Structure 1
Amino acid sequence: MMLISDAYREQNRALHASNEHYGTSGKAWAPKVRPLADWGRKAVLDFGCGKATLARRLGPAYQVTNYDPCIEGLDTPPPPHPVVVCGDVLEHVEPECLLAVLAELRRVTQEVGLFVVHLTAAKKTLPDGRNAHLIQEPASWWATMITSAGFVVRDQGHNEHEAWFIVRPQHD
């Protein structure tokens, strides 16, 4: 199960290294994460954490595990967590790896997840010239992909630029 190709990992590492603002959107999700994390014993996995701004915004009262397959030192596959945040990540996934990434999210999500997906083109480009958002699909498409991966969508919302989903693992 490949979550990311070696070539694309290098593209992302280069973009993270060259752009101080790439991988910093995590802090924006803190207001939605706090009530979920309080319910989930304050243990949070930031899946695709980038520069780990969510952990800094939540502060020391929360036990945040940062995971990002593109960042050395944060690329060890994590154990399951009660609360998983995956914000501004899924649209960056290589289309051929999306099902594997969703399966990995299902593996690590014990109780609840917050998934935030941008729906439109990114302002940033990869070093090879491609738009950083490799997948640009409407919210309804993402809802279908998320539910087909074994999640129940408990709440959702969207605007013209992004969609968010509060999910729980579907139990057989």
Structure 2
Amino acid sequence: MKTRNVDAYAELHRRRTYGNTAVRMRRFVEPWVQIDRPKTLIDYGAGQGRFGEILTAPTLEVRDSYDPAIPEIATLKSDSYDYAICIDVMEHLEPDEVAGVLKHVASLTKRALFIIDTRPARAILPDGRNAHTMLQPPKKWQEMLATAFGEAVAVPVFRKGRCAFKTYRSSPSEWLAYWGKFGPAEVDYQLWRLKGGRYEQPPIST
């Protein structure tokens, strides 16, 4: 789904390299994907990070990336997925575009995980505006997601200025499994940071 600022973001991607968000947020996302055991996944608004490519999820047979600002992945390969991840995407939309994009994601899958930044970005658009054009508190994002999907469950993302939601409910045993997976993932992340936090981008899947 092409939005008004796509060309501006295409220019930003040409000028700068992005991708570390995928590594920083992986420990919050990967356990839920593993627990849900999807066969197909779409990284919606993937940018340069290729989040879907770095997830450890043995059940995944399809890991598609989609971003209208990146020519190689600007076209969706399917109209249906078992699971979607949407990381640091929604805050880059214009306010009147949010409902349409959420509707689009919901048309692809009913099981999605969103992480949304609630603070101004460092990046500035070519027109001089802050790149985070849609800043809202977590409660407002939860309401908008619930309207689009029928459900919006807050999930942990221990980072100031971010919120996260799943569009489906999980059982107590699934939550217990999540915490069991999150602990080792957090250790891996902290070790990555101690080693300098370097990230080598996977190649784009086309």
Q: TM-score range by the shorter chain?
A: 0.7 to 0.9
The answer (yes or no) to whether the contact 2:21–2:49 under 8 Å persists in 1 is no
Paired position in structure 1 for 2:181: none
Preserved contact between residue 36 and residue 83 of structure 1 (Cα < 8 Å)? no
Alignment pair present for 1:43 and 2:40: yes
Normalised to the residue count of structure 2, the TM-score between the two structures is 0.71
In structure 2, which of residues 28, 34, 51 is the aligned counterpart of residue 32 of structure 1?
A: 28
Whichever residue aligns with residue 17 of structure 2, its letter is: E
* Equivalenced residues, count: 164
Q: Give the corresponding residue for 1:164.
A: 164
Q: Give the superposition deviation at 1:96.
A: 1.6
1:155, distance to aligned residue in structure 2 (A)? 3.4
1:29 partner amino acid: M
SS at match of 1:115: strand
- The structure-2 alpha-carbon separation of the partners of 1:60 and 1:141, relative to structure 1 and needing over 3 Å to count, comes to closer
The residue type paired with residue 88 of structure 1 is D
Does residue 93 in structure 1 map to residue 93 in structure 2?
A: yes
Residues 83-125 of structure 1, C-alpha deviations (whole Å, 9 max, x = no match): 1000100000121211100100111124x21100000100111
Q: 1:104-143, aligned counterparts within 5 Å? A: 104-110=104-110, 112-143=111-142
What's the CA shift for 1:53? Answer: 3.0
Which consecutive unaligned segments of at least 5 residues does structure 1 have?
Answer: none
Distance 2:30 2:125 in 1: 32
Q: Does the Cα contact within 8 Å between 1:27 and 1:53 map onto a contact in 2?
A: no
Query: How well do the aligned residues superpose, as a CA RMSD in angstroms?
Result: 2.2
Structure with greater strand share of residues: 1
The offset of 1:19, in angstroms, is 1.0
Partner of 1:14: 11
Cα contact 1:4–1:93 (8 A) shared by 2: yes
Instruction: Give the greater-gyration-radius structure (CA).
Output: 2
Q: Which runs of 5+ in 2 are unaligned?
A: 170-206
Structure 1 residue runs of 4 or more that deviate by more than 4 Å after TM superposition:
none
Q: By how many angstroms is 1:138 displaced?
A: 0.4
Mapped partners of 1:121, 1:81: distance in 2? 31
**Aligned CA distance change for structure 1 residues 129 and 79 (closer, same or farther; 3 Å):** same
- One-letter code of the match for 2:80? P
Cα shift readout 1:57-89 (whole Å, capped 9, x = no counterpart):
226844311000111121113422111000100
Preserved contact between residue 47 and residue 84 of structure 1 (Cα < 8 Å): yes
Q: Aligned pair in 2 of structure 1 residues 32, 160: CA closer, same or farther (>3 Å)?
A: closer
The CA deviation string for residues 9-42 of structure 1, in whole angstroms up to 9 with x for no partner, is 1101001111112x55233332233333332334
